[in-house]
Every structure is written in C-alpha cells, then in structure tokens.
Amino acid sequence: MTKWSRMICTLDAIFKALADPTRRKLLDELFKQDGQPLGSLGQHLAGRPLGAERISGQLTRHATSMTRFGVMKHLRVLEEAGLITTKRRGREKLHFLNPVPIRLIHDRWIDKYTAPWAATLTALKRTLEETMEKVFEIYIKTTPERLWQAITDPEMRRKYSFGVRVESDWAPGSSYEGLAGPMAIFGGENLEVDPPHRLIQSFRALWSDEIKLEGTSRVTWEIEPVGDSCRLTVIHDQLREGAPSELYGGWPMVLSGLKTLLETGELLTTPGSLRYLGPNPEAHFR
C-alpha cells in the first residue's frame, strides 16, 4: 500500500467516525471533560444512567438510553480512527480525546483557505485531583531509533518544534533547555531516559513572566513499534487545574510537524509552526 493510499484509508476512517451524531456527541463530552470512563460517557448520551426501569411492574428500557455495548461500539470506532486514546488507571479504562488527527485534517485542507492559526482550539480540559492530564497520540512511518533521534537531536527538533532547539546530554537526571536563539523558551530535568522507548521530563515554560508562574509540569514521550511504523504517545500531566491552554495547546502542531518531517523530509509551514525559526526570534517576545 502506498503512502497516499494509507493516508486515504486513515482519512476515510476519521470522516466515517465523525459522520455519526452519537460519536460526535461522545467527542463533545470528552472535549468538556477529558479522561472519562465508559459509564460516565454512557450517562451523558442518555441524560441519565444506563439501564432500565420498571413501569407498572414491567422492565422497560429508557427510550433515550443506549446500552453499554452500544456505547462501546461507538468508542471502538473512534479509537480505530485515532480520535480517542485510552489509558488504564486501576480497574478503570479512561478515554481521552486525541486532537492530532483533527489537526492533520486542518493542516491538509482547512489551513489552505484560512490563515488564522487555530491550534489552541484543540486544547482540552480534564480535572483529576486538582491537576490536569493531556494525552496526544500519532502514528509515524519510521523506526523507534529514528524517532528517538528526532526528539533528542537539536537540529531535527527545531524543524518541527516552532524553531526551538532542545539541548541536553540526555543522561538521567540531567537538565535540558529549549532555546530560540539565545532566548530560553522552556526547560526542565530528564527524569527517565530509556532510548528508544521512553523519555520522561519535568517541564517549565519560560516564554513570558505570566507563564512562568504556572510552575513545573511533566511530559512523557512513549514510543511503541507497530509494524513498519511507530505509535508515539505524548502525555502532558501535573498541569494546574485551569492552566492556560498555551501550555499544552501546541502539541498537535508539534506532532504534525514531526510526522511531516520524518515521512516526507519537509517542514510543516502552517502559520505559527516555525514562529521562532527566523533570524530574530527575540521579536516574538516584544
């Protein structure tokens, strides 16, 4: 199967998933509150708990309810299309909205005709013990080793990460710094380094005095080979509840740029994607 035929199959699955109003409702609910279990999503669909009630001694299914199996089928279609991803937490299976495929559609078509950059529209909110967690997933046709290199090599990183170089010796416990020219954009510590599988980092944004007040969060990169491709999952957690979307809203564009670079060798040139790549990155802070 060629690259274009694979892309068409992927897009067909995305559009098919979005065509159903029930599945769009599920995505809307995850947009409102990310990381929900099956039972919670079923209640949102019905407006009441899933199940049945007795009327005049007879067991009657709610007219507007849907069985757990029905909700599971819709969630499976969304997961196969890459529009949601799941994580186990104890005995619960939590569902997260994955905005990356929608971002890819935006970059493929919408951005041709509309100049305003809408990356922050994909930012989602989830409250868990007074912190937020964001999960992003993308499939890239590459090897784990090449993907790891793209994440850790300063020159490769700047080609898809808004023009920001990330410099470190990548030893466990070492520091790293994201630089646009001489300007420090973000930084932190490499908490766990397991090439080419897993990288966990503390993360502190430094691009404005206001954003510095948000303190430190955490970013996890997980690489899993799948056939001749890799599934890359980026988890940005330990975010303050109500933290501004600029802390995490850029991940869909970063991952889209990474996929474009590794699969085509080209740079993603949507508005904002190379904001610090020019000769005078300091101008963006004035």
Structural domain boundaries of the chain? Answer: 1-97, 99-286
Say what the pLDDT of residue 99 is.
82
Please tell me the predicted confidence (pLDDT) of residue 190.
97
- The candidate with the shortest Cα–Cα distance to 257, out of 142, 162, 124, 139, is 162
Residue length, the chain?
286
Mean pLDDT of 177-187: 94
209 by Cβ neighbours in 10 Å (0-12 / 13-18 / 19+) ranks as exposed
Q: What is the pLDDT of residues 209-233, one digit of tens each?
A: 999 999 999 999 999 999 999 999 9
Residue 123 has pLDDT above 50, yes or no: no
Q: What is the mean pLDDT of residues 276-283?
A: 56
Residue 49 pLDDT grade (very low, low, confident, very high; cuts 50, 70, 90): very low
Residues of the chain with pLDDT > 90, as a percent, come to 48
Most confident of 22-31, 59-68, 168-177, 239-248: 168-177
Higher pLDDT, 127 or 245: 245
What pLDDT does 152 receive? 97
In this prediction the pTM is 0.59
User: Which pLDDT value is given to residue 193?
Assistant: 97
pLDDT reported for residue 100: 80
Least confident of 3-12, 133-142, 238-247, 277-286: 277-286
As given in the structure block, the two tokens for residue 157 are 């990183």
Rounded to the nearest integer, the mean pLDDT of the chain is 81
Q: Assign domain 99-286 one CATH number from 3.40.50.720, 3.30.530.20, 3.40.50.300, 3.30.420.40.
A: 3.30.530.20
In 146-271 the beta strands, taken as DSSP E runs, fall at 165-168, 175-180, 183-194, 198-205, 216-226, 229-240
d(CA 12, CA 3): 14
Domain 1-97 class in CATH? mainly alpha
135 CB contacts (<8 Å, ≥6 apart)? 34, 35, 85, 87, 96, 98, 233, 234, 235
Matching CATH topology for 1-97 and 99-286?
A: no
Kindly state the percentage of the chain with pLDDT values over 70: 76
Q: pLDDT tens for residues 62-114?
A: 434 578 888 999 999 999 888 998 888 888 899 998 888 877 776 666 555 54
Q: What is the pLDDT of residue 101?
A: 80
Say which residue, 95 or 269, is predicted with more confidence: 95
Query: What mean pLDDT comes out for the span 160-165?
Result: 92
Contact 276, 257 (CB under 8 A): no
129-147 pLDDT, tens per residue? 468 899 999 999 999 999 9
